[in-house]
Amino acid sequence: MRCLSMGEYLKSIKNKTKYIIVTGGVMSGLGKGITTASIGRLLVDMGYKVIPIKIDPYINIDAGTMNPFQHGEVYVLKDGTEVDLDLGHYERFIGVELTGNHNITTGKIYSKVIEKERDGNYLGKTVQIIPHITDEIKLWIRKMAMENNAEICIVEIGGTVGDIESMPFLEAIRQMHNEERDEDFLLIHVTLIPLDLGKEQKTKPTQHSVKELRRIGLQPDIIVGRCANKLKEETKRKISLFCDVPVEGVISAEDAKDIYEVPLMFKDEKLDKYIIKKLKLQERRQSNEWEKMVKKLQNFEKEIKIAIIGKYINVKDSYLSIREALKHAGIATGCKVNILWIESENLEKKDKVKIDADGILVPGGFGQRGTEGKIKAIQYARENNIPFLGICFGFQLAVIEFARHIIGWEDGNSSELAKTEHPVIDLLPEQSKVNRFGGTMRLGDIEVTIKPKTIAHKLYRKEKIYERHRHRYEVNPKFISEFERHGLVFSGYSDNGRRIEIIEYPKNNFFLGTQFHPEFKSRPYSPSPPFIGFVKAALEFSN
């Protein structure tokens, strides 16, 4: 199929897709991702087909190599692309499955333009940021809208207005605004409304942020004011006056008890009706599915405590999807899940481990640091019959713990971590091949076969599932028979049985590990089966 020109794209999607652009000012980390996802949810509840796009101005091609301490969780999409955690919010709120093309980075745009230049597509012209980089950005956005038959395309631009790396993207948006009809384009600006010592809401940072936006030729249609408290009417009027936005277009986004309440807060502010009015859309059916879910979230009768044994716990967003998946399972089982964060390195210093929790979860991670502490936690869970869930690296460490303390291989380990005669976790020969992303990890959706009459089968209620992966090392098939002889059950596999995907220990009430990341496919209205099983077991244990 030939590539369409910019003019052809403009013609093909005219009168079809509406664009909502979300920018941020004053400071990063204000919640643009939650704002974008919440707006998407409101529009989906009205029956519109919404496609989100996240623009990350960093030069990296993707988020795969980023440190969790700096960037939070690396979220994996179904096609294996490693992305920013905001795309996880999009999937959970909007109910869509995204691909790598829904994430635009500076690295991707420049690579594409350089590739075209090398192929002679620019006919000897001097390749410049304007028009070539900006044209590529606009082309990418419009192509995604058209290929997904989007009625509304929401584009979040990462960073803040004024960042040097964001400038080409904001310029592309300015051009798009001029190319689209007014009723097809909406700009939402998220800013900080701080409180002074007297608890007065200060609008000056917002005024300066909007001034910077105007300087590059953009005027917001809606301002979302992030504040600890609900915006006062006088604050809204002041922002309206100085920023040239109608009072009804100034939206309060005060701190919420839970992120899933934000769409309902926006609805109370009549943001959905204002968007419909500005984009000249019809107000369609109103689904109350989200509202029902939030009511369940706000009215729990029971509580449990789950210990997460991690090595990045100083940055809780490193385990964001796991935290949300536990919450989803709590909604399904009618209990509030409280999390006890435990630094795995601290457990290594203790001779005797004691964890006061109703369930123990060991998540993924890379590298030697904190490994022995996680193994101690797994041993404590197994020996005391405390519900246990191991994910990815946690799954692998559960295999190592079993090898050491049940089979008796004291040197049992992963070849990633140490040289040993019993590399129960190893790099399989075929796994050394480079994948399409330029690395050797298994990434994205992979088919998993589940054995009948197992805990995993009871949870999933099917024999074939698709779950997302992000790992390199795997269970060494050389030792499988010895594990099975000692009672460990390998209940899920892939690649015609060569790769182990799920383990369980039937002697315990609930002891399960998955090589894949079930948290990436968990939704508040459709929780992940392993998390439901884990939370149910923890609830029974607490009783």
CA atoms of 107 and 110, how far apart (whole Å): 5
Q: Which residue, chain included where needed, has tokens 């994205």?
A: 444
Active site amino acids: 392, 517, 519
pLDDT confidence of residue 162: 87
Q: With beta carbons less than 8 A apart as the criterion, state whether 479 and 112 touch.
A: no
Domain limits of the chain? 6-292, 300-542
E strand or H helix at 489: strand 489-494
- Tell me what pLDDT residue 273 has: 95
Q: What is the mean pLDDT of residues 248-260?
A: 95
Classify domain 6-292 at the CATH topology level. Rossmann fold (3.40.50)
Instruction: Label residue 486 by pLDDT band (50, 70, 90).
Output: very high
Render 38-89 in DSSP notation, one character per residue.
Answer: HHHHHHHHTT--EEEEEEE-SSSSSSTT--HHHH-PPEE-TTS-EE-THHHH
State the pLDDT at residue 370.
86
Q: Which residue has the higher pLDDT, 314 or 121?
A: 121
Q: In this structure, which long-range contacts are made by residues 263-266, counting pairs with CB atoms below 8 Å and at least 24 apart in sequence?
A: 263/38, 263/39, 263/41, 263/42, 263/45, 263/93, 263/290, 264/290, 264/291, 264/294, 266/38, 266/39, 266/42
pLDDT > 80? residue 436? no
Query: Is pLDDT above 90 for 3?
Result: no
The mean pLDDT of 391-417, rounded to a whole number, is 95
CA 364 from centroid of its chain's CA atoms: 15
Q: What is the bridge-based pairing of β-strands 152-157 and 50-56?
A: parallel
Overall average pLDDT of the 478-507 stretch:
95
> Does the pLDDT of residue 74 top 60, yes or no?
yes
Q: What is the pLDDT of residue 15?
A: 47
What's the topology of domain 300-542? Rossmann fold (3.40.50)
Whose structure tokens read 């009809």? 181
Q: What is the pLDDT of residues 128-178, one digit of tens each?
A: 999 999 999 999 999 999 999 999 999 999 989 989 999 999 999 999 999
Q: Would you say residue 95 has pLDDT above 60?
A: yes
How high is the pLDDT of residue 1? Answer: 41
pLDDT in tens, 38-69: 999 999 999 999 999 999 998 888 877 776 66
The rounded percent of the chain whose pLDDT value lies above 70 is 94
Q: Is the predicted pLDDT of residue 430 greater than 70, yes or no?
A: no
- The residue ranges of DSSP E strands in 171-315, in sequence order, are 185-192, 222-227, 250-254, 302-310
Q: If pLDDT is split at 50, 70 and 90, which confidence band does 114 have?
A: very high
CA-based angle 505:74:93, to the nearest 5?
A: 90
**pLDDT tier at 499 (50, 70, 90 boundaries)?**
very high
pLDDT tops 90 at residue 342: yes
Query: For residues 29 and 324, what is the distance between their CA atoms, to the nearest angstrom?
Result: 18
Question: Can you give the pLDDT at residue 431?
Answer: 56
For residue 274, which phi and psi values (nearest 5 degrees)? -70, -40
Q: Report the alpha-carbon distance of residue 417 to residue 424 in Å, rounded.
A: 11
Q: What is the pLDDT of residue 27?
A: 86
Cis (ω within 30 of 0) for the bond into 194? no
CATH topology agreement for domains 6-292 and 300-542: yes
Label residue 229 by pLDDT band (50, 70, 90): very high
- What is the spatial distance between Cα 387 and Cα 334, in angstroms, rounded to a whole number? 18
Instruction: Specify the pLDDT at position 56.
Output: 92
Quote the CA–CA distance of 259 and 229 in Å, as a whole number: 15
Average pLDDT of the segment spanning 371-382: 96
